Amino acid sequence: MQTMSFIKWLFETDSVQVMWYITRASGLVAYILLWLSTLWGLAISSKLFDPHLLRSYTYDFHEFLSILAIGFLTVHLSVLTLDHYLPFSVTQVLVPFTSTYRPLWVGIGVIAFYLTLVVTVTFYLRRYIGVRAFRLIHGLSMIAYLGATLHAIYAGTDSPLLTTQFLYKGSFLTIVFLSAYWLVNWWQGRGRVARPESGMERV
């Protein structure tokens, strides 16, 4: 009995807010995993890992991060329906902009979840939809990450904390930096392809 009382005291399992703690924690972990997946995807596209790691490994790890993020997002959404502190219905969790709590930002978070789900599913459909379609759909991951960031900042109850502000702003800046790096590489690649063609025209 004393052990059970200690566990209840330690983890506050008899508190009405325990589900709220779980959904907050799972939401933060899901955001970090989604950020890492987006960061890793940009690094793959920019060929940062090519001199050091096999592409098969980097692709598999990118896929693993995305699946893990969806797992924690599922926990985040599911626990909201069990919470008694700030209850959400199944409709509010699954249908964007139907929540009574900050409907705009919660709705954007729901859309970000669906986009992440679609992008992750394409890992298994790549051979059927083709590389071009795969890349176009995969571009939605940037929109999903942006949506998740907006949701975390404006709907998250931990947003006022200095640590979470540092997390959101710092992680977002790394994505901006790598996106700029990817764009520069892409533009330089276009230039390298165009120069030989222009040279042939002059001849």
Q: What is the pLDDT of residues 145-190, one digit of tens each?
A: 999 999 999 998 888 889 999 999 999 999 999 999 888 887 876 6
Note whether residue 7 is domain-resident.
no
- Give the distance, in angstroms, between the CA of residue 36 and the centroid of all CA atoms in the same chain: 8
91-120 pLDDT per residue, tens: 999 999 999 999 999 999 999 999 999 999
Q: Is residue 85 part of a domain?
A: yes
Q: Average of pLDDT values for 3-20?
A: 60
103, part of any domain: yes
Query: Residues 64-101: pLDDT tens digits?
Result: 999 999 999 999 999 888 877 777 899 999 999 999 99
Boundaries of domain holding 54: 15-202
Query: Helical H runs in the chain?
Result: 2-11, 18-45, 55-82, 90-94, 103-121, 126-129, 131-138, 140-155, 162-202
* Residue 2 forms part of a structural domain: no
pLDDT at 47: 85
pLDDT for residue 7 is more than 70 = no
Q: Distance between terminal CA atoms of the chain?
A: 90
The predicted pLDDT at position 8 comes to: 55
What is the average pLDDT value for the chain, to the nearest integer? 85
Residue 167 maps to a domain? yes
The whole-number pLDDT of residue 54 equals 84
Provide the pLDDT for residue 152. 94
Give the span between the Cα atoms of 135 and 121, in whole angstroms. Answer: 13
The pLDDT of residue 25: 92
CA distances 117 to 112, 178, 186, 195, Å, are 9, 23, 27, 40
Residue 9 falls within a domain, yes or no?
no
Question: Residue 15 has what pLDDT?
Answer: 58
- Number of separate domains in the chain: 1
Average pLDDT over residues 3-23: 64
19/82 Cα distance (integer angstroms):
7
* Residue 175 within a domain: yes
Residue 59, in any domain of the structure: yes
